[in-house]
């Protein structure tokens, strides 16, 4: 996959099928669009081009009175996933306040058609673009006649009558419903971060934990609780369980992400780690003391192992 992070470096390619969007999460609905993109490109003997944005437009254009948007995929995570989709070209456009003022017509004509190049476009059913999201499929149809390109709008993608969307997945993750979120994503939800030093309480309890500091402050963290997870350190995959929360037994107050890795005894402070969430085990709760906590952790470990074996 050829990757462009600066539109000035893009060489116009006329024989291409193009799609454009934020694609946060690259969930099954997005994958449906990508598959159609690839099918049309194969039929036309053309190359595939995917155009996306960084940062997420809603982060740049956030109103002060609204909560911060938490993203499902950072730009590097998008690239990691897209590499598995066999796309020919990826353009990541830097989304700024100035860029947000680009009109729908300017965006399609000047950016996509004249600079990136394509002869056919594939778009999702709810795609809106340009200044104030004024552009829609009707806009594309008019421009298609003027510039002589084809455009296809795909219908909504549903699973068991449930519309697949990034918003829906965020809601599920924040509620701790990992299994349902993973079903809509088509893979396990994951985060990337660096292992940082903690307070050492887990080691004292014979359940040593690694605290994770995420690569991006905008990344969505699932709701508080205990989860069965897989941890990836380079090419090494390790089963484990993760606690997200404030550790109420110790009156910590600060929200942390800490993972206990099973049958793992290496020193890993400062290293990068990827965590895949498989299933939520229970709520975070306050225990009467260390003995009750250890007894519960043993149950959590057994339950996690049973989940991860299946």
Instruction: Find the CATH number of the domain harbouring 144.
Output: 3.40.50.620
144: in domain: yes
How much is the pLDDT for 231?
Answer: 97
Residues 17 and 120 in one domain: yes
224: in domain: yes
Residues 33 and 87 in one domain: yes
What is the average pLDDT across 61-86?
94
Pairing of strands 2-4, 89-94: parallel
Residues 17 and 146 in one domain: yes
Q: What's the domain count of the chain?
A: 2
Indicate whether 203 pLDDT > 90.
no
148: in domain: yes
Residues 11 and 132 in one domain: yes
Residues 60 and 151 in one domain: yes
pLDDT tens digits along 140-152: 999 999 999 999 9
Residues 301 and 198 in one domain: yes
How much is the pLDDT for 205?
Answer: 66
Indicate whether 104 pLDDT > 90.
yes
Average pLDDT, the chain: 93
Residues 152 and 224 in one domain: no
How much is the pLDDT for 305?
Answer: 96
In degrees rounded to 5, what are phi and psi of residue 228?
-80, 130
181: in domain: no
Confidence grade of residue 204 (pLDDT, cut at 50, 70, 90): low
Residues 151 and 27 in one domain: yes
How much is the pLDDT for 188?
Answer: 98
How much is the pLDDT for 299?
Answer: 95
Lowest mean pLDDT among 202-206, 209-213, 271-275: 202-206
Higher pLDDT, 266 or 178: 178
What is the average pLDDT across 238-250?
85
What is the average pLDDT across 57-71?
92
Confidence grade of residue 57 (pLDDT, cut at 50, 70, 90): very high
Indicate whether 279 pLDDT > 90.
yes
Domain coverage including residue 115? 2-163
Indicate whether 252 pLDDT > 70.
no
176: in domain: no
Confidence grade of residue 170 (pLDDT, cut at 50, 70, 90): very high
How much is the pLDDT for 266?
Answer: 86
Residues 155 and 200 in one domain: no
- The share of the chain scoring above pLDDT 70, in percent, equals 95
Residues 25 and 96 in one domain: yes
118-129: b (≥16 Cβ within 10 Å) or e: bbbbbbbeebeb
Higher pLDDT, 109 or 66: 109
pLDDT tens digits along 185-195: 999 999 999 99
What is the average pLDDT across 257-264?
93
Instruction: Find the CATH number of the domain harbouring 274.
Output: 2.40.30.30
195: in domain: yes
How much is the pLDDT for 291?
Answer: 84
Question: Which pairs from 254-258 meet CB under 8 Å and 24+ separation?
Answer: 255/224, 256/198, 256/211, 257/191, 257/193, 257/211, 257/212, 257/214, 257/221, 258/198, 258/202, 258/209, 258/210, 258/211, 258/212
How much is the pLDDT for 246?
Answer: 83
Question: Which runs of consecutive H residues, i.e. helices, occur in the chain?
Answer: 28-44, 57-60, 75-82, 104-106, 137-147, 166-174, 178-185, 201-204, 290-309
């Amino acid at each position: 996959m050829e990757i462009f992070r600066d539109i000035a470096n893009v060489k116009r390619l006329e024989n291409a099928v193009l799609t454009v969007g934020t694609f946060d999460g690259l969930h099954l609905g997005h994958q449906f669009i990508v598959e159609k993109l690839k099918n049309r490109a194969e039929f036309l003997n053309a190359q595939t081009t995917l155009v996306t944005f960084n940062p997420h437009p809603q982060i740049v254009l956030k109103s002060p009175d609204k909560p911060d948007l938490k993203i499902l995929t950072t730009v590097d995570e998008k690239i990691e996933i897209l590499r598995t989709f066999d796309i020919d070209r990826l353009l990541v456009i830097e989304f700024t306040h100035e860029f947000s003022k680009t009109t729908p017509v300017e965006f399609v004509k000047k950016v996509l058609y004249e600079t990136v190049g394509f002869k056919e476009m594939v778009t999702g059913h709810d795609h809106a673009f340009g200044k104030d999201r004024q552009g829609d499929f009707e806009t594309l149809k008019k421009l298609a006649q003027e510039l002589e390109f084809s455009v296809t709008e795909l219908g909504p993608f549903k699973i068991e009558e449930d519309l697949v969307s990034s918003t829906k997945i965020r809601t599920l993750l924040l509620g701790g419903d990992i299994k349902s979120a993973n079903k809509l994503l088509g893979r396990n939800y994951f985060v990337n971060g660096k292992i940082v030093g903690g307070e050492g309480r887990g080691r004292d309890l014979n359940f040593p934990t690694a605290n994770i500091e995420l690569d991006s402050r905008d990344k969505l963290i699932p709701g508080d609780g205990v989860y069965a997870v897989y941890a990836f350190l380079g090419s090494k995959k390790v089963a484990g369980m993760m606690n997200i929360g404030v550790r109420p037994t110790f009156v910590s107050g600060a929200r942390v992400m800490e993972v206990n890795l099973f049958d793992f005894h290496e020193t890993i402070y400062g290293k990068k780690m990827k965590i895949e969430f498989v299933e939520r085990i229970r709520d975070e709760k306050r225990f009467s003391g260390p003995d009750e906590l250890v007894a519960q952790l043993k149950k959590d470990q057994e339950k996690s192992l049973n989940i991860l074996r299946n």
